[in-house]
Chains A and B, each alone.
Chain A
Amino acid sequence: MNTYKHSVFLDVKKCNGCTTCLKHCPTEAIRIKDGHAVINEERCIDCGECIRLCPNSAKKAKCSALSSMDKFKWKIALPAPTLYGQFDNLDDVDYVLDGLLKLGFDDVFEVSAAAELVSAYTRKYLKTSGITKPAISSACPVVTRLIALRFPSLLDHVIHMLPPMEVAAHLAREKAKQEHPEFSDSDIGVCFISPCPAKASYVNNGFADYKSKVDVVVSISDIYFHLISVMKYGSDVKPLSNSGIIGISWASSGGEATAIFNENYLAADGIENVMRVLDQMENGNIPPLDFIELNACTGGCVGGVLTIQNPFVAKARLRSLRRYLPVSEHFNAEEDEYLPSEFLFDDLPTYRPISRLSASMAESMRMMADIQKLKETLPGIDCGSCGAPNCRALAEDIVKGKSSIEKCLIRLRGVKDEG
């Protein structure tokens, strides 16, 4: 049974049943039924492609409003570095951090600072003997879910390191508890400011047995408008920023990989490209690499669907923003003798054979034979009018009893012409 709480959902009123999302969903999780899209929750990986492409803005992401933080006595903001790339002419991160305090947060903890620690520990991890290489980063939640669902033979490659958001949440909480012993754990609220719906799903669902330390996820697109009304360039702001080039570079593709200080890496972005890399890895057809960085969104996190700015513009802005920063504000971690357990997670999501036709192999083989036969009778133009993304998918749906051959309009027309 599917118990995963997704953050991508459909506004039925706005959906007119066009086939845009249907044709572009990388896991074929969408069908059009009764004139609107239906998302198969077992297959959805929260990549947000459908949100990005929907011409009617019918696909949305469930995130919280800023007011969800009101119930906490001590409110901490965790801005993703992508946030900094959204603003025109920003020359100092402190204006953004100060803006967050003006919005009512009591403290800010930059995710980019935690990212520098994760980078330091990743460098250390890569030097550990006995690890499976190439090691795959676990930072993008879409990628880890995709691997668990579709590429189970690659699970051993995934680094069991918590993503920067989680590390930031942990450290921010510890700091708050130390500085304010008067607050209990439940008084402290941690709010992640997210570029993508997948992070919201990660927080809602946890990760295998791990429970997220983030309480609320607010989208960058939402907080942006609150921020621009309170941010003031040139004003006297507290120097809060505490991350360097490495931390800020995590926002775009290749940033995490270059921080391993080793040229033996690959960085791919965009869900289709990510799938191609994983597929090639599964075929044993990639050069011997140490590290693989995969980002579901084009350009990396700056390409997340909950951002405002074009990812390439955001990336260019981040490049000028980080220019005179130190390489990293957090590099001493490498001198530690072990990887601290609060940076690690135990279990990856377990493999579920979601694409399996039937629980019995014999039945699956019979169904597969039927699908092959049926597919031959379909026109093969993959038009999507039947509500399935392609003819093969319709054949599968029919054999599974979820659709019927009459749904194929092209075939129906052919039958009429002949008659």
Chain B
Amino acid sequence: MPDVLNFHFEVDGDDFKSAGHASFICKKNLRQLGISPEIIRRVSIAMYEGEINMVIHARGGSADVNVYEDCIEIILADKGPGIKNIKQAMQEGYSTATDNIRSLGFGAGMGLPNMKRYTDYMDIKSTVGEGTTITMKVNFE
């Protein structure tokens, strides 16, 4: 058995319509591995929120999903504007999304809080002007 199985996705920031596509494909793959529906649901939500964030705020980026024996790791990396105040960004309802994005039903300020809620581990590394890398883990047990 390979120690780790990697799914790599490039998230296109120019095409808003395609946002959510990577998490869709990822979900399909995880289902084929026989991972439980509840774990898949948590990974899908966390990854979907992250993917949307990258499209809205950072003009895209990359998503890597690593399946280990005991957990699934999601790494979302972008070269966007970075997050000035991570603590503030983690607050429910806080959002810097434009009105345009809000009118589409996004930008409710629940993205990062949901990512934290549905995962067992979450780490945000961000430098203003350089980009953001978020690592999340969902444990099987």
Contacts and interface: CB of A to CB of B under 8 A. Distances in A.
Tell me, yes or no, whether A binds B. Answer: yes
B69 to A, nearest CB: 8
Is chain B's binding surface mostly helix, strand, loop or mixed?
A: helix
A285 B96 CA distance: 19
A264 B32 CA distance: 35
A396 B41 CA distance: 23
A153 interface: yes
A282 B30 CA distance: 14
A357 B34 contact: yes
B105 A287 contact: yes
B28 interface: yes
B41 to A, nearest CB: 4
Contacts of A358: 34
A353 interface: yes
Interface stretch (A127-135, A218-226, A360-368, A380-388): A360-368
Given A153-B40, A283-B20, A369 B5 contact: yes
A371 to B, nearest CB: 8
Contacts of A353: 31, 34
Contacts of B5: 365, 368-369
B62 interface: no
A351 interface: yes
Contacts of A238: none
Interface in A279-294: 279-280, 282-285, 287
Contacts of B20: 280, 283, 285
Interface string A62-81: 00000000000000000000
Contact of A282 (B2, B35, B41): B41
Contacts of A361: 33-35
B23 interface: yes
B44 A282 contact: yes
Most A C-beta atoms less than 10 A away, residue of B28, B33, B38, B40? B33
A355 interface: yes
Nearest to B3: A365
Is chain A's binding surface mostly helix, strand, loop or mixed?
A: helix
A356 interface: yes
Contact of B1 (A280, A282, A359, A362): A362
B45 interface: yes
A26 interface: no
A349 interface: no
A255 interface: no
Contacts of A99: none
Given A153-B41, A365-B5, A366-B2, A285 B48 contact: yes
A369 B1 CA distance: 10
A365 B2 contact: yes
A284 B114 contact: yes
A363 B41 CA distance: 22
Interface of A: 150, 152-153, 279-280, 282-285, 287, 351, 353, 355-359, 361-366, 368-369, 372, 396
Top 9 A-B pairs ranked by shortest CB distance? Answer: A362-B1, A152-B37, A356-B34, A283-B48, A153-B41, A364-B33, A284-B45, A153-B37, A365-B5
Given A152-B37, A364-B32, 15 more contacts: A153-B37, A279-B24, A279-B27, A282-B44, A283-B23, A284-B49, A351-B37, A356-B33, A356-B34, A357-B34, A359-B34, A364-B33, A365-B5, A366-B2, A368-B5
